[in-house]
């Protein structure tokens, strides 16, 4: 069953432009990773699923590199409470 089919040409560097209709349908943006898989009937292009663990680890590393943004946030809250007389 074919839902959408478009013909594209491979460029001199082996690159193929993914048609805008397919980029929009499958939420593909510049910089996104894609997976090529060889199947018995041809070549499959797939967007990898989101790995929430990997995203959380990257966020934790960014916070760690910036020098404990969490403790800075807690200090700001404490200072605001002190200003209004709450200990």
**pLDDT at residue number 17:** 94
- What domain range includes position 68? 52-83
| Residues 32 and 6 placed together within one structural domain of the fold | yes
Q: 75 to each of 9, 50, 78, how far by Cα in Å?
A: 58, 34, 5
- Output the pLDDT for position 84: 66
Backbone phi, psi, residue 6, to 5°: -135, 145
Do residue 9 and residue 41 come from a single domain? yes
User: Distance (Å, rounded) from C-alpha 27 to C-alpha 14?
Assistant: 23
Q: Which helix (H) or strand (E) holds 55?
A: helix 52-65
- Same domain, residue pair 43 and 1: yes
| Co-location of 39 and 6 in the same domain | yes
pTM over 0.75, yes/no: no
Q: Within the chain, which residues score under 50 in pLDDT? A: none
Asked if residue 15 and residue 2 are part of one domain, the reply reads yes
pLDDT of residue 75: 74
How far is it, in rounded angstroms, from Cα 18 to Cα 55?
26
């Amino acid at each position: 069953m074919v839902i959408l089919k478009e013909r594209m040409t491979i460029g001199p560097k082996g690159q193929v432009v993914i048609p805008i209709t397919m980029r929009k349908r499958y939420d593909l943006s510049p910089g996104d990773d894609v997976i090529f898989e060889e199947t018995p009937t041809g070549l499959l292009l797939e967007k990898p699923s989101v790995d929430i663990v990997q995203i959380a680890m990257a966020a934790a590393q960014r916070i760690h590199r910036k020098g404990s943004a969490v403790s800075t946030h807690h200090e700001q809250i404490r200072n605001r409470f002190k200003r209004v007389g709450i200990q």
